[in-house]
Amino acid sequence: MVLSLLFLISSCKNEAERQVSEALKIHHRIFTVDSHTDTPLSFVRGSFDIAKSHNSREDGSRIDFPRMKQGGLDAAFFAVFIGQGPRNDESNKKALVKAEEIFDSVYSVVGRNADVAGIALTPDEALKLTKAGKSAVFLGIENGYPIGNDLNLIRHFYERGARYITLCHTKNNHICDSSTDTTEFNGLSAFGVEVVKEMNRVGMMIDVSHISDSSFYEVIRLSEAPVIASHSSAREICNNPRNLSDDMLVKLAKKGGVVQVCLFSDYVKKMPENPERDSAMDVLHRKYPNWSLLPEEELKKAWMEWNETNLKFPPNLATVADLVDHIDHIVKVAGIDHVGIGTDFDGGGCLADCFDVTEMPNITIELVSRGYSETDIRKIWGENLMRVMREVQKVKVKI
């Protein structure tokens, strides 16, 4: 009896080790894409060098080029993030100027590291960079605020390299209602309707993360192209307005789109209350209500205070297993062709066992342990999103 038990334990251990070994092989031979990171926020810190490996438990950063290599991440979308401010001509102009500065900073940083990274405008360019041993950087805009009221800026941003626009952020803007604000337009504004049409014409992916349910359904109805949710998860698993309901998942899949599960723990699992952290962070949010429009020196100060507070009062974190519960559910409801991964690294996203980009193989290990095939995992880690990029380009040609 004892020998039988020992044999069973040994067999289980050997099988677990075999699965880990196989998962690591899969992870490092497939093409992997993270559809949403806020890594450009790190560039405001004068001491941050993306060419050097950092310790996320010391400085809070989640991504740099050496760690991308270590974690087997081939490509990442760097977000040009602009927090929502007042909606008037003067503020719109400031948002535009800030967006241009962030674009410039990304090009500058990547340009200085051309031996290890490059900007990708298409899936094929990203694959070419990967084959050359380099990290691929895509660009996306988080919050359509810097568009102001000028549809021509959509083409301008596309020409600057942006391949998606998240229509809004945590507050309503001139395009649509946010999922975390009051009802203003009950969906898209009249201008927002034109934004959707123009994004289709230009070939820009429409990102429905952060937008309200009514806004989502209008986008689905109006768009001629598939849409994405660059960093959202399943509401059935975690009841957060930032996540998509089952009906929304079905509608998005029928449109041919993809939802990229997010590693932000509050969207993954209802976490235990953390009053000390909540209080400290609330003080910071009131002190610095719109980080993206702060002058450079004040922004550096805000970032330092945020990092110090985050280290002093660490968040409660979900796990990779919790995250893959979302993938399981989305696959069941929408299908394997309509799910991917958008971490929200450097913008609050991380898990207890996927704390930075070096631990991304843990997601693949969990997928293998649940029976996902290499073909499935290739789709989840990038093929689905790259398919949508290509299909959006085809729609552009037709319009």
pLDDT tens sequence across 143-175 = 999 999 999 999 999 999 999 999 999 999 999
- With a cut of 70, say whether residue 82 has pLDDT above it: yes
pLDDT for the residue numbered 5 = 47
Q: What's domain 31-271+317-398's superfamily in CATH?
A: Metal-dependent hydrolases (3.20.20.140)
Determine contact, residues 82/98, Cβ cutoff 8 Å.
Answer: yes
pLDDT for the residue numbered 6 = 44
pLDDT for the residue numbered 45 = 66
Q: Tokens representing 74? A: 């081939």
So where are the chain's domains?
31-271+317-398, 272-314
Q: What percent of the chain has pLDDT over 70?
A: 94
pLDDT for the residue numbered 7 = 47
Q: What percent of the chain has pLDDT over 90?
A: 79
278 vs 308: CA distance, rounded Å = 14
pLDDT for the residue numbered 240 = 97
pLDDT for the residue numbered 150 = 97
Look at residues 80, 40, 47 and name the one whose alpha carbon lies nearest to residue 62: 40
38 vs 78: CA distance, rounded Å = 6
**pLDDT band at residue 273 under the 50/70/90 scheme:** confident
- With a cut of 90, say whether residue 59 has pLDDT above it: no
- With a cut of 90, say whether residue 303 has pLDDT above it: no
Q: Tell me the average pLDDT across 49-59.
A: 93
What is the reported pTM? 0.93
* Residue 196 neighbours by CB under 8 Å, 6+ apart: 188, 206, 218, 219, 222, 223
What angle (nearest 5°) sits at the alpha carbon of residue 261, between those of residues 372 and 154? 130
pLDDT for the residue numbered 9 = 53
Long-range pairs for 132-136: beta carbons < 8 A, 24 or more residues apart = 135/65, 135/68, 135/69, 135/73, 135/74, 135/75, 135/76, 136/74, 136/75, 136/76
pLDDT for the residue numbered 309 = 83
343 vs 232: CA distance, rounded Å = 9
Q: Tokens representing 286? A: 């009131």
pLDDT for the residue numbered 12 = 56
pLDDT for the residue numbered 396 = 76
- 313 to each of 41, 150, 260, 351, how far by Cα in Å? 21, 42, 28, 15
Q: Tell me the average pLDDT across 6-28.
A: 77
Lowest-pLDDT range of 4-18, 131-145, 292-306: 4-18
Mean pLDDT, the chain, as a whole number?
Answer: 93
Q: Convert the pLDDT of each residue in 318-329 to its tens digit.
A: 999 999 999 999
Question: Residue 231, class by beta-carbon neighbours within 10 Å (0-12 exposed, 13-18 middle, 19+ buried)?
Answer: buried
Q: Convert the pLDDT of each residue in 185-210 to its tens digit.
A: 999 999 999 999 999 999 999 999 99
- With a cut of 70, say whether residue 291 has pLDDT above it: no
105 vs 94: CA distance, rounded Å = 17
Look at residues 137, 48, 28, 144 and name the one whose alpha carbon lies nearest to residue 87: 144
Question: Taking the alpha carbons of 276, 170, 154, 229 in that order, is the dihedral positive or negative?
Answer: positive
